[in-house]
Amino acid sequence: MLPTPSKIQDMTCEVVHNRDCGNGLKIMRLRPLATNGAPASFECQPGQFVMLDLPASEFRFRRPFSILATYNSCDLDIYYKIVGEGTRMMQELMQGDHIQCLGPLGIGFNEPKEPETTLYIGGGIGIAPLYLMQRCVKTPGHCFYGVRGQEDIGLEFELKDAFGEENLHISTDDGSYGFHGNVCGLLEQYSDKILAAQEAYICGPTRMMEAAAALLYRINPQLRVQVSLEEHMPCGTGACTGCVVSRSDQYLPSKVCVEGPVFDARSIQWDGTLLPMSAFCEESPCPL
Ligand code: FES
């Protein structure tokens, strides 16, 4: 059963650790501090996110990060990759440093009805909410994880522990580990699992999510596919309209930060309107 999320709080958190996972990937564990004598607590659902106030005055807006894990209804882990000035500053935070954290925000994934056949499809650091879901439901589903190369797997030990070695399928663009190719090519090898599944969760780069959803629908049109969108989020609370996404099932667009980030894949107006997989492979062989 998924945990009941905490109320949204602006928490002062202490950095418990900020550890390397290789190749610019890191896990930062945060511990909310008690306020006004009340013990701190934090709980969230897979797919929800937090906004971190990065330690520099030149960043006017907080940055969104999805949650990799929670511990004891208090600590939370953020899985991130150092890609710009903000994450470069994040990596310098040390044990005992403080950071403001707003959350949990947004609407996460629905709980799977048949966990053992559920498909978890991740790209890059998009694996974070899928790992959290697996930790919550415990019954292993099938995980398909695409990265550029072996050094980008980052969480191999954790993923094997959560899904089991036999249920973890990894693709690398450069062929240095597992299936040689992208995660859609990997998925195509497992059409039996796609046909047997009722639900699939996808999180990663937008084009990868669209192509993966198109592939899943082609093989099993009955599948319920949820995607967790990655958008720029200046406020994270619905105040700025900086994160809207067009919908295919309604006239008005949606704010990803409050109506998502998780949506039914068919409800999104994708740029390529659900790309055929060939478009993903030929135009963008290395999207992660
Ligand atoms: Fe401001 Fe969504 S980030 S409305």
Please write the tens of the pLDDT for every residue from 233-286. 889 999 998 999 999 889 999 999 999 999 999 999 987 555 554 444 444 443
pLDDT of residue 93: 93
Ligand 1 centroid to residue 258 C-alpha, Å: 8
Distance CA 151, CA 25 (A): 9
Q: Cα 90 to chain center, whole Å? A: 19
Q: What is the CA radius of gyration of the chain?
A: 18
Q: Look at residues 259, 268, 267, 249 and name the one whose alpha carbon lies nearest to residue 48.
A: 259
Q: How far is the CA of 102 from the centre of ligand 1 (A)?
A: 13
Average pLDDT over residues 18-23: 94
* Distance (Å) from CA 166 to ligand 1 centroid: 40
CA angle 34, 39, 40 (to 5 degrees): 65
Amino acid at 56: A
Question: Quick one: tokens of 110?
Answer: 């629905």
Residue 154 near residue 22 (C-beta atoms within 8 A): yes
Res 273: pLDDT = 57
Structure confidence at residue 57 as a pLDDT band (50, 70, 90):
low
What does the block give as tokens for 22? 């290789």
Taking Cα atoms as reference points, which of 135, 50, 3 lies closest to residue 143? 135
Q: Which of the 8 DSSP states describes residue 237?
A: S
Instruction: Give the pLDDT mean for 195-214.
Output: 95
pTM for this model (two decimals):
0.92
Residue nearest (by alpha carbon) to ligand 1 atom 4: 238
Answer yes or no: is the C-beta of 238 below 6 A from any ligand 1 atom: yes
Determine whether the shortest distance from the Cβ of 233 to ligand 1 is under 6 A: yes
Angle between the N-to-C axes of helices 128-137 and 156-163, in degrees from 0 to 180, rounded to the nearest 10:
30
Please determine, for residue 85, whether its predicted confidence score (pLDDT) is greater than 90.
no
* C-alpha 140 chain-centroid distance: 18
Is the CB of 63 within 6 Å of ligand 1? no
The pLDDT assigned to 82 comes to 94
* Nearest-atom index, ligand 1, CA of 64: 3
DSSP sequence for 136-153: HH-S--EEEEEESSGGG-
- Cβ–ligand 1 contact at 253 (below 6 Å): no
235 CB within 6 A, ligand 1 = yes
**Span between the terminal Cα atoms of the chain, in Å:** 31
Range in 52-56, 153-157, 251-255 the model is least confident about: 52-56
Share of the chain above pLDDT 70, in %: 92
29-38, 162-171, 181-190: range with lowest mean pLDDT? 29-38
Is the Cβ atom of 234 under 6 angstroms away from ligand 1?
A: yes
- Report the residue among 241, 254, 263 best suited for mutation to probe ligand 1: largest number of ligand atoms under 8 A from its CB: 241
Residues of the chain above pLDDT 90, percent? 76
